[in-house]
Amino acid sequence: MREDPHSVIAGKGTNKSDLLRAIQQLGKVNEPPSFWKEIISDPEYSTFHRIQCVFQLFRRHVTDRMNLAELGRLLGDPNWVRDVDIEVVTVLLGEIPVTWVPEDTIFVLRLFPELLPGYAVYLRVKGKVAQRSFIDLLRGKRVPAEASEAPILEVGFSEPPGATSSVK
């Protein structure tokens, strides 16, 4: 009998290859976002493990056209991303994993950069949204309606050069 992928993913001692294999075996979304958030928020898991769970939280629970207020409620003031690690892409100097549209806002959430640099989640949001408004939304604060109602158009993931460890 094959072990349930969620049990493997939830194992604090799960190695990289078993973690990635278990993620690849996931079927339709049947777990609540809290499954991923509990792992991400627990520093007893490896940084790599936590990053892979951030990626899966976004892949499996951030839906097309979800607005920023819904994202803020989903993430629930995430302790795994610091305000200083949330940036707005204002100039395109290289490749990014979302479409560059000057009329939209692209946010990048750098994941544990002091522990394992190069991993990030990118969000392309319709229209112009201030960085401060986005951070405040993630922290559960009130923001102008144009920020809270802005739909997420695209989510992308970035790894350090040479890393081929994530699963799509």
Domain match, 74 and 156 both = yes
Residue 167 lies in a domain: no
* Phi, psi of 28, rounded to the nearest 5 degrees: -60, 155
Task: Identify the domain containing residue 69 by its residue range.
Answer: 64-161
Tens of pLDDT, residues 33-43: 999 999 999 99
Cα separation, 150 vs 17, in Å, equals 37
Tens of pLDDT, residues 132-163: 999 999 999 999 999 999 999 999 999 998 77
Domain match, 93 and 134 both = yes
* Helices and strands per DSSP (H, E), number in the chain: 7, 4
The count of domains in the chain is: 2
Domain match, 87 and 47 both = no
Domain match, 70 and 109 both = yes
Residue 2 lies in a domain: yes
Amino acid at 131: Q
Tens of pLDDT, residues 66-102: 999 999 999 999 999 999 999 999 988 889 999 999 9
Tens of pLDDT, residues 107-138: 999 999 999 999 999 999 999 999 999 999 99
**Residue that finishes a domain, picked among 16, 40, 61:** 61
**Coarse DSSP helix, strand, coil percentages of the chain, rounded to the nearest 5 percent:** 35, 15, 50
**Residue that finishes a domain, picked among 61, 89, 107:** 61
Domain match, 37 and 114 both = no
**Residue that finishes a domain, picked among 12, 27, 61:** 61
Domain match, 85 and 128 both = yes
Using 50, 70 and 90 to split pLDDT, how confident is the model at 168?
Answer: low
Residue 15 lies in a domain: yes
Domain match, 103 and 154 both = yes
Domain match, 88 and 138 both = yes
Cα separation, 109 vs 123, in Å, equals 8
Residue 1 lies in a domain: yes
Residue 155 lies in a domain: yes
